[in-house]
């Protein structure tokens, strides 16, 4: 046997025991579960032959397509709400699908664990089925399959046509060529409601399972000093509908100072939030709130190339009071090695639609230094899914 396979088998066995012990001890074992999943995945890859690789890679798109069909038919809803396995004929009757067609789809779904075959032509739900009865998670499939996958399919040709240069023009992307528009992606989405609704819902879906920045950053220790009740504690820049500001208010109600949400006029129009001031603001223009304790950006800067990010950061720095203000950037810091599939896929997605990127630690340091800012610390979660929190100050 290949020594690497032997080592992985031993690792899986050890991690399995650790996971079992952690669950038995009442800690939940989330860290052990994640480590065990990684090891099992490595073992599976190590056992593959070339034919296995081809089978796994070449037909992935059809797996997602079958999930989309299952969502469209309400198939997962029917399986999950039933207390016993459902027959093919019963599912065909309720969905209106031809039994022969539905049987073919269900066989594919069963082959990768989206449903369970409990008997001949008899099916029960799995974790995959239960995932996609949650509206915000089903919206992720709608967003990715319907609207993003045509862009991803065109990406190889786009890169070939641009001589494999790193994209930097927000109006000349694979998205622009596929959708035949000169408008930036976000502007296009906001003008097309068929895409806008699943996009907005899916953004909360992609947060599933991630730690909050308030879990990894000592909020009270860092933010309680340097501001009184009349001062400005927290400015959520480009904060959408204010989820982060409201979460901060709920979790730390006794923190002194005002909370402000900023976003474009069309986003915050008529928006009212208890305990949070709502303000229309374009972060490409001078920051009008001066000397706040914290200027907070969550998943904003990965939407923009370096030049535009420098504009955003410079305008923010000019509003900061060096002795008081902190910049908090809640964003992935892509590791130099062993980056996750989600991080790396999202990086290519941002490139495809916005000529933007997820950044490595080195790239973050270079970007902030070039904007007159200095990173004090990068706060990290124990998992490899949650975003980091970059704490920065005005460079002396």
The set of residues, in sequence order, having a beta carbon less than 8 Å from that of 215 and lying 6+ positions away, is 381
| Residue pair 287/295 in contact by the 8 Å Cβ criterion | yes
Q: Which three-class secondary structure state does DSSP give residue 21?
A: helix
Pairing of strands 326-331, 294-298: parallel
Which listed residue (143, 243, 281, 302) is catalytic? 302
Written as six digits, the tokens of 259 are 């909370």
Q: End-to-end distance of the chain based on CA atoms, in angstroms?
A: 59
379 DSSP β-pair partners: 389
- Which H or E element spans position 185? helix 185-191
CA trace torsion 361, 367, 370, 374 (10° rounding): -50
Does the annotation mark 192 as catalytic? Answer: no
Buried b / exposed e across 340-362, counting CB within 10 Å, b at 16+? eeebeebbebbbbbbbbbbbbee
Q: Which residues belong to the active site?
A: 302
């Amino acid at each position: 046997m290949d020594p690497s396979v032997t080592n992985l088998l031993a690792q899986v066995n050890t991690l399995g025991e650790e996971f079992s012990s952690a669950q038995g001890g009442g800690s939940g074992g989330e860290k052990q579960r994640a480590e065990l999943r990684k090891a099992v995945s490595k073992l599976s890859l190590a056992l593959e032959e070339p034919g296995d690789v081809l089978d796994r890679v070449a037909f992935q798109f059809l797996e997602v397509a079958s999930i989309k069909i299952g969502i469209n038919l309400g198939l997962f809803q029917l399986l999950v709400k039933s207390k016993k396995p459902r027959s093919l004929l019963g599912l065909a009757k309720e969905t209106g699908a031809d039994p022969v067609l539905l049987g073919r789809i269900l066989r594919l779904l069963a082959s990768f664990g989206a449903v369970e075959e409990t008997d001949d032509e008899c099916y029960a739900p799995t974790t995959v089925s239960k995932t996609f009865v949650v509206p915000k998670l089903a919206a992720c499939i709608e967003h990715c399959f319907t609207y993003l996958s045509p862009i991803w399919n065109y990406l190889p040709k786009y890169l070939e046509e641009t001589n494999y240069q790193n994209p930097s023009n927000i109006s000349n992307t694979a998205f622009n060529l596929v959708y035949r528009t000169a408008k930036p992606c976000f502007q296009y989405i906001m003008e097309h409601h068929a895409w806008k609704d699943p996009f907005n819902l899916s953004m909360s879906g992609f947060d599933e399972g991630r730690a909050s920045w308030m879990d990894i950053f000592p909020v009270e220790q860092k933010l309680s000093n340097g501001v009184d009740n009349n001062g400005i504690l927290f400015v959520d820049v480009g904060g959408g509908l204010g989820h982060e500001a409201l979460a901060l208010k709920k979790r730390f109600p006794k923190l002194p100072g005002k909370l402000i949400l900023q976003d474009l006029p069309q986003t915050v129009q008529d928006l009212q939030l208890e305990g949070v001031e709502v303000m229309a603001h374009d972060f490409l223009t001078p920051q009008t709130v001066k000397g706040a304790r914290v200027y907070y950006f969550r998943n904003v800067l990965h939407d923009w190339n370096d030049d535009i990010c420098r504009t955003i950061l410079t305008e923010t720095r000019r509003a900061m009071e060096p002795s008081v203000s902190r910049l908090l950037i809640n964003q992935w810091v892509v590791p130099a090695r062993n980056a996750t599939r989600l991080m790396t896929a999202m990086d290519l997605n941002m490139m495809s639609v916005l000529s933007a990127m997820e950044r490595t630690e080195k790239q973050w340091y270079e970007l902030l230094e070039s904007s007159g800012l200095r990173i004090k610390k990068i706060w990290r979660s124990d998992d490899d899914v949650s975003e980091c929190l970059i704490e920065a100050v005005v460079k002396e």
